[in-house]
Structure 1
Amino acid sequence: MRDKPRTLLTPGHALVVIVLLMAILGLSLALIMQQSMNLTAIANAGTSGSSATVSGKETDNSANADNTTQTNEETPNGEHSTDNPSANNPSANNPSASTDTRININTASFEELQSITGVGPVTAQRIIDHRKAIGRYSSVDQLMDVTGIGSKTLEKMREQVKVE
């Protein structure tokens, strides 16, 4: 009765198993690398005030900060002069500063969160609960940690939210 083995594994079957295991290993390593890069970006954004995360890529804003700095020099008669004529008008450098209608996910209420595309009452509550658990969001990308928000939903939301 037990003359035959229970399973017959041919070299072709073994090759398929090996290829599948290699594919799974490669996918696992890719996900680990992506998570590592996300954590590095979050850590850098939290420690250096001059970097920001835009569409998943970190950009350095220190060059922009140098362009908007002003120097106050005292003239011989005691008056102050500025090299930047728009120094007294902060919105002159950034015309969209007064028209920014994005919702700050660190201070948004339950109702404000529901006004975001793709966010219903359950997801809004999950965003608030996650915010309470972590203290505050340091990047919009952290919304991916909220159950129910995937990459597609985050891309729909990205233009409507901000972190301050």
Structure 2
Amino acid sequence: MALTTGHTLVIILLLVAVLGLSFTLIVQQSMNLTALAQGEHPNALSSTNTENIDGESIDNSDDRLPDSSSNAVPSPEQSHPEDTSDADQPAQQESDSRININTASLDELQTITGIGPVTAQRIIDHRKSIGRYTSVDQLLDVTGIGSKTLEKIRGQVRVE
């Protein structure tokens, strides 16, 4: 089979297009990693929920990458209850029915909607590896907990 000038031109254009796409993806990934390294809050680009063997819902989104459309830092009005100062905590703790993820047992963690035995054990294992949680957002580091799952359970958990 002989290649004509037209075939050769099409092949070259196709290779240039693929090279351009690859370069674009590399630049985008580099920007995402830079934003993550600078400590900006990660947001999911896309997500897919599935179930694992234990029937737990797992957020399989790549939620460790910042949303390229918005790199805004949350304003004070968007702060979460676990971000309150120590002065506010004693009054809050008296009527707070949320589960403290630093002291919760395996059984207590399983009472959280969306957390099964495997994820509960992973929360405990991660707690042992880091010493203690300083923010509920650290649950994003636990395998099986993505941004959607975290938002579902945020009102049920706290950090002391």
TM exceeds 0.5?
A: yes
**Secondary structure in structure 2 of the residue aligned to 1:107:** coil
Mean Cα deviation higher: 10-19 or 126-135: 10-19
2:98 matches 1:102: yes
Deviation at residue 54 of structure 1 after TM alignment: 3.3
Which residue of the other structure, out of 130, 136, 147, is the alignment partner of 2:132? Answer: 136
Report how far residue 37 of structure 1 moved.
Answer: 1.4
In the TM superposition, what is the alpha-carbon distance from 1:35 to its structure 2 partner? 4.6
Listed one character per residue, the Cα deviations across residues 87-127 of structure 1 (whole Å, up to 9, x for unaligned) are: xxx97xx5x55321111100011111001111000000010
Q: Return the offset for 1:27.
A: 3.4
Give distance in 2, aligned partners of 1:60 and 1:31: 29
Task: Find the residue that maps to 1:10 and give its secondary structure.
Answer: helix
Write out the 4+ residue segments of structure 1 that deviate beyond 6 Å after TM superposition.
none
Structure 1 letter corresponding to 2:112: I
| Structure 2 counterpart of 1:37, one-letter code | G
- Normalising by the residue count of structure 2, what TM-score does the alignment of the two structures yield? 0.59
Structure 2 CA distance for aligned equivalents of residues 158 and 35 of structure 1? 24
**Cα pair distance change 1:60/1:124, threshold 3 Å:** closer
Give aligned pairs, total: 119
- Taking every aligned residue pair, what percent have the same amino acid on both sides? 52
Structure of higher CA gyration radius? 1
The residue that corresponds to 1:17 in the other structure is 19
Return the match for 2:108 from 109, 112, 136.
112
Q: Render the CA deviation track for 1:50-91: whole Å, top value 9, x for unaligned.
A: x9x935xxx785xxx6xx9xxxxxxxxxxxxxxxxxxxxx97
Normalised to the residue count of structure 1, the TM-score between the two structures is: 0.58
Query: Larger relative CO (CA 8 A, sep 6+): 1 or 2?
Result: 2
Closer/same/farther in 2, CA of residues 133 and 112 from structure 1, 3 Å limit = same
Separation of aligned partners in 1, 2:26 and 2:109 = 37
Q: 1:38, 1:138 → 2: CA distance? A: 17
**What's 1:54 paired with?**
79
The correspondence of residues 1-164 of structure 1 with structure 2, limited to 5 A, is 9-38=11-40, 54-55=79-80, 96-164=92-160
TM-superposed CA distance for 1:150, in Å, is: 0.9
- List gaps (5 residues or longer) in structure 1: 40-50, 69-89
1:122-144 CA distance string (max 9 Å, x none): 00001001111111111111111
Offset at residue 12 of structure 1 (A) = 4.2
2:109 aligned partner, one-letter code? L
